[in-house]
């Protein structure tokens, strides 16, 4: 039976100063919100959040986030929700906070909302969480029967954050179209639980188009904490379009290779989107992309500031043991790499990854782009 499906958050709100409307939108979801944010995030948005909730007649109750969306942290947050008697839980921060809060809100049986302070991943809109071990290795996807009730993004808050967060979001979002295209060709199921809809696949393509046109000027603007039309478009592409596109369009090799990379300690400390971008390069190699397409992607994402070599994610291409570990995890049973329109083995992944550095370095050299710099994980 051919069943296609599309899922999305209840409401998406984006714009400069949107944080001041948080209380208004939360009041439509519950009367006792529990806010989850770490101390750094609360330091720069706490005042505005408090003012917004007070104006809406809502109590202000904040709990800290522990740093990693692990099973242990999720269970701890469920305890915080239960003891507070909250009827809606709100994640304020980045993808890790959001993933932990979605999982905790689901387990606690209450509504949940997200107020991302960066546009670094497509986590805010989805009905799933990526759960890691306490050491930061990928553990599992957890799926929920519904998406967040509210996603609210203040563009100025995003522009005030370091530009590297927006760069990482571009890496995550560019993979959306490459993976949705592969899923569409193979007729595989998506994270939404059915075959991709035309809508999900089209939104993934729109995300790609918006980023190729706007990513570079948007990143430049954010380096000066400015919100321009290009910045607004990139925030929407990274957050909403990529969120809907990956979930209802499908994941394939790029995210599976990201998951594989997390199994090697040398890659820890890199942003999700940085590792995903290397996964995108490897997926293009696996697909036998034309030399022009591969060159264009490597040149563009290098200019954006994303890794296009193993060296830049902390792995030497001649480190066969680490490459094998990544490839084995990426091709594990149940991984999204099996949504590719052809069979992919761990040997295929290892060959693709090992072949990247020499080729990408040559492309960068001929385009007068910086040579790859080795990444050293900060322990």
| Other CB atoms within 10 Å distance of the CB of residue 129 | 25
- CA–CA separation, 73 and 357 (whole Å): 37
Distance between CA atoms of residues 199 and 144, nearest Å:
21
Which among 305, 253, 303 has a CA at the least distance from the CA of 279?
A: 253
Residues in the chain: 379
Active site residues: 172, 255, 258, 272
**Short-list 124, 123, 152, CA closest to 56:** 152
188's tokens: 């595989």
Cβ 274 vs Cβ 168: under 8 Å: yes
């Amino acid at each position: 039976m051919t069943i296609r499906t599309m899922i999305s958050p209840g409401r998406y709100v984006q714009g400069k100063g949107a944080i001041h409307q948080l209380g208004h939108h939360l009041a439509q979801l519950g009367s006792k919100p529990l806010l989850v944010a770490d101390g750094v995030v609360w330091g720069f948005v706490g005042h505005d959040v408090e003012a917004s909730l007070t104006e809406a007649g809502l109590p202000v109750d904040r709990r800290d986030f522990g740093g990693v969306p692990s099973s242990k942290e999720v269970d701890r947050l469920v305890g915080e929700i239960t003891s507070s008697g909250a009827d809606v839980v709100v994640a304020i921060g980045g993808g890790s906070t959001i993933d932990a809060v979605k999982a905790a809100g689901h387990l606690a049986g209450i509504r949940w909302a997200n107020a991302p302070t960066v546009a670094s991943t497509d986590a805010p809109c989805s009905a799933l969480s990526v759960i890691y071990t306490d050491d930061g290795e990928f553990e599992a996807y957890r799926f929920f029967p519904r998406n967040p009730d509210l996603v609210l993004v203040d563009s100025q808050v995003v522009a005030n954050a370091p530009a590297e967060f927006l760069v990482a979001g571009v890496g995550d979002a560019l993979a959306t179209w490459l993976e949705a295209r592969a899923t569409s060709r193979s007729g595989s199921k998506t994270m939404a639980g059915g075959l991709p809809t035309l809508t999900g696949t089209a939104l993934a393509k729109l995300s790609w188009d918006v980023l190729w046109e706007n990513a570079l000027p948007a990143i430049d603007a954010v380096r000066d904490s400015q919100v321009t039309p290009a910045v607004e478009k990139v925030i929407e592409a990274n957050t909403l379009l990529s969120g809907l596109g990956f979930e209802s369009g499908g994941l394939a090799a790029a995210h599976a290779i990201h998951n594989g990379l997390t199994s090697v300690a040398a890659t820890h400390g890199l942003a999700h989107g940085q590792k995903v971008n290397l996964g995108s390069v490897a997926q293009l190699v696996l697909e036998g992309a034309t030399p022009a397409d591969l060159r264009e992607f490597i040149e563009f994402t290098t200019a954006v500031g994303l890794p296009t070599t193993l060296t830049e994610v902390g792995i030497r291409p001649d480190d066969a043991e680490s490459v094998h570990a990544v490839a084995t995890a990426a091709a594990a049973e149940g991984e999204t790499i099996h949504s590719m329109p052809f069979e992919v083995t761990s040997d295929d992944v290892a060959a693709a990854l090992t072949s990247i550095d020499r080729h990408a370095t040559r492309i960068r050299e001929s385009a007068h782009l910086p040579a790859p710099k080795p990444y050293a994980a900060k322990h």
